[in-house]
Chain A
Amino acid sequence: MNIWLVMLLGGALTFGMRLSFIYLFGRFEIPATVKRALRFVPPAVLSAIIAPALFMPDNTLDLSWSNYRLMAGAVAILVAWRTKNTLLTLLAGIMALLILQVVFR
């Protein structure tokens, strides 16, 4: 599918969800379980992307020390946990990967 079509469909769905209850106010009630479930959407989706990016850099499971993306990811997780800062996490992870690649080439 063309990237522009993907963006238009994704944008239309996003707009539709933003408009949904504003437009239909009073005609529907959101179930409590659905409200509860929404909190888990970001950590679940993002973790499902992070795990293969760290553990399967070449599309197969790589748990060795030479998996530099896994090592750099571990550094980033530590920095994110200590600082809660997006920019610092990003810089720490990129720098760790660059250093590992240069030192252990």
Chain B
Amino acid sequence: MNQTMKSFWAGGRAVSPLLVGVFPFGLIYGAVALGAGLSPAAAQMMSSIVFAGSAQFVAAQLVHESAPGLIIVLTIAIVNLRHVLYSASVAPYIEHLPTRWKTLLAYFLTDEAYATTIIHYEEEEFTPTSHWFFLGAGLALWTTWQVSSGLGIFLGAAIPASWPLDFALPLTFIAMVVPVLKDKPVVAAALSAGIVALLAFNLPYKLGLILAALVGIFIGTYLENRSSQKETL
């Protein structure tokens, strides 16, 4: 096997432990997207067009709440803002590649592919075939995400309509938020966002959601800046 294929498969192998967590997540996405009122075709295509787990869950929930399209687009963008950071972080390692490679790898730059690839770049030997490692990790994740969401859509159609499947989305969000509530700034961000969301619920166009998210992000960042300033004094 040549070096190119070795790197490609090494990327797939490196991301595989994360795929164990991604698979059930995709199943749940497929099932709840149907429950939220998306057509099977739209639910499946979102997995390749948007290709970002948490943003897809949020978009499905907002479709269920009949939020205006522009608000859904804006929320997807806010949820995916972190990808700008990933982009900046991998940029120096793929700077030398032609634009078509950069474009392809950017499409595959998910949380999991990023985490796997950046460790490879930073800790292991950086070789001329390292971008094949990135591609291998990205493609393994992409395939897992498409198959698991497809299977979720298939299984979701079999769940009785009387089940409160629309409640599965907020529950999934609880499962995502609770484990990261580890320090004061994060807890403050979550609580303030939740309270503002209740107070501003009646604003038109679901703007209360955007306002609440911005207040939470601001309060968390403000508290963290303040405590880090204290440390340096």
Residues of chain A touching chain B, judged by Cβ–Cβ distance below 8 Å, are: 1-11, 13-15, 17-23, 25-26, 30, 33, 35-56, 59, 61, 69, 72-73, 76-77, 80-81, 84-87, 89-90, 93-94, 97-98, 101
Contacts and interface: CB of A to CB of B under 8 A. Distances in A.
Contacts of B163: 94, 98
Nearest to A57: B167
Contacts of B168: 90, 93-94
B141 interface: no
A22 B102 contact: yes
B193 A90 contact: no
Interface in B62-91: 63, 68-70, 72-73, 75-91
Interface of B: 21, 24-25, 28, 38-39, 42, 45-46, 49-52, 54-55, 58-59, 61, 63, 68-70, 72-73, 75-92, 94-95, 99, 102-103, 105-107, 109, 163-164, 167-181, 185-186, 189-198, 201, 208-209, 212-218, 220-221, 224-225
The CB with the most chain A CB atoms within 10 A, among B46, B69, B174, is that of B174
Nearest to A8: B49
A8 to B, nearest CB: 6
Contacts of B80: 13-14, 17
Closest 4 CB pairs of A and B: A1-B69, A44-B216, A40-B220, A51-B194
A94 B170 CA distance: 11
Contacts of A3: 38-39, 42, 63, 69
Interface centre among A21, A61, A87 (most CB of B within 10 A): A21
Contact of B175 (A8, A20, A41, A85): A85
Given A22-B94, A47-B177, A36 B51 contact: no
Contacts of A43: 177, 180-181, 186, 189-190, 193, 216, 220
A77 B178 CA distance: 7
A93 B171 contact: yes
B175 A48 contact: no
B174 A76 contact: yes
B73 A13 contact: yes
A75 B50 CA distance: 32
15 contacts: A13-B80, A14-B76, A20-B87, A23-B99, A30-B85, A37-B220, A41-B79, A44-B214, A45-B58, A45-B193, A46-B173, A47-B173, A47-B193, A48-B196, A93-B168
